[in-house]
Amino acid sequence: MLPIKDSLKREMIDSLGLKTHLVLLGVPIFLLLTSWEGLLNISAPYNLVMVVCIYLFGYALSYYFHQCRLNRLWSHLQQVIHLNNTTFDLMNSANRYQDESKFLNALLSKAVNGVQAAEMGSIIRVIPDTDELYFESTIGIDIEKLRKINFNLSQSFEYRFSKGICDRVVLIDNMANINGHSTLTPEDQEALLTAPLSPIKSTLSSPIHIEGKLYGMLNLDSSKVNAFSHYDRNLAAVLTHEAANAIALYQKSHQIYQLANFDSLTELYNRQHFESAEKEWQINSTLGSYLVILDLDNLKTINDNAGHQAGDKALKSLASALKQQWHPKHLVARYGGDEFIALCYGPICEIEDDLNRIQQILAAQYSQEKTAGRQAIEVKFSFGIASYSRGWSRCFKIADDNMYQQKRKKQRVSLKE
């Protein structure tokens, strides 16, 4: 089955088929031929009347087809406007989605609803460098079954029917004729066939390109044979183009959000985000709220003795332990340098237990690295806790003083040893 190039690339949205042309040309000629002998046997005025009637019939037939075509074009235009509006809404709401998978779920839902014949669908990601395929999102299909399938780009419909170019919408109008030539294992073919809620008979597969690279494929599926029309292919082309723009905008927006709100080294919130979120922190009078400040004890020593890369590794180790124990239960951020900060709900005994567990996690990592013979970095920290209220400056000073008091106590013990 060879793919037909999208007519939108030829600046066409619709065209008359051969059958329509034959009807428009053939019916008047047929009427003239069948009535020709009768026309010869009647007087001239009646001949003229019959010819005019045949002409009017042909004109009425042409007008009927013309109006049907206009109605079809109007319906198509409404669908395109609907698709543009939905993708525009997605672009405007891109910042709402912290997870790209959730954004793709929303996009796929709008795609399936935007093409009338589509009952199911999926977005398949192409993993860079390996060309392996991964089902990112589905509607009406068991995604867990699909994710067990091991297949790559060369085994996809898009690759096979575009001869590896992956630059056009591929229409498969009878899946039974295709599955017999699949190179998938019998187990993977079985998973592919049983994953949909209804057996897939027709598919539209359209490539998604972002910044000149193949990002993935958008598949729209139906349980009917020959479900998709030539126009549905054009609609899928428009949809995929808009989807690519929406995904690219989402990725840019997400990158900007990450840079503005997260620390690039530790992937914790940064100081700016913490100070903004602190103003909206909800006080819990039952559990109490507490401000915790943490500071690495030996970052300068690590940097001087093992280099700044080792110091970065120490910061990331502490951040990872904090995320493992707290994030996102509490508001945790890298406040600057080797200082971390957190807003936590109490009781305070649980916070202190959590801090002890974090120190145990770091100590266990140090022991494992040392046992394995790798360069081991011992990460220790001091902390200070203050009961949190809306008096930010006062709470911060108390927690900071408590942290430095603990740090000085450790230094005195170290000097005695």
Q: For 254-297, what is each residue's pLDDT tens digit?
A: 888 889 999 999 999 999 999 999 999 988 888 899 999 999 99
pLDDT at 107 exceeding the cut of 70: yes
Does 254 share its domain with 295? Answer: no
- The pLDDT of residue 15: 59
Share of the chain above pLDDT 70, in %: 84
Q: Does residue 129 sit within a domain?
A: yes
pTM of the model: 0.68
Q: Does residue 265 sit within a domain?
A: no
Does 36 share its domain with 81? Answer: yes
Instruction: Please give the torsion angle defined by the CA atoms of residues 103, 105, 111 and 116, in that order, rounded to the nearest 10 degrees.
Output: -150
CA-based nearest residue to 292, from 324, 261, 320, 333: 333
Token digits of residue 200: 């897939």
Put the strands of the sheet holding 331-336 in their side by side order.
331-336, 339-345, 289-296, 381-387
Does 221 share its domain with 347? Answer: no
Q: Does residue 284 sit within a domain?
A: yes
Higher per-residue pLDDT: 153 or 230: 153
Alpha helices by DSSP H, 93-221: 100-114, 143-146, 157-161, 176-179, 186-194
The mean per-residue pLDDT over the stretch 8-12 comes to 49
Burial degree of 323 (CB within 10 A; 0-12, 13-18, 19+): middle
Does 232 share its domain with 326? Answer: no
Q: Does residue 59 sit within a domain?
A: yes
Last-in-domain residue among 259, 292, 314: 259
Q: What is the CATH number of the domain that holds 191?
A: 3.30.450.40
d(CA 33, CA 269): 84
Does 218 share its domain with 70? Answer: yes
Q: For 33-71, what is each residue's pLDDT tens digit?
A: 666 666 556 555 666 677 677 777 777 777 777 777 777
With tokens 């073919």, the residue in question is 189
Token digits of residue 227: 């479900």
Does 184 share its domain with 282? Answer: no
Those residues whose C-beta lies under 8 Å from the C-beta of residue 249, and which sit 6 or more positions away, are: 91, 94
Q: What is the CATH number of the domain that holds 340?
A: 3.30.70.270
Does 210 share its domain with 313? Answer: no
Q: Does residue 417 sit within a domain?
A: no
d(CA 336, CA 251): 27
Domain that holds residue 362: 271-409
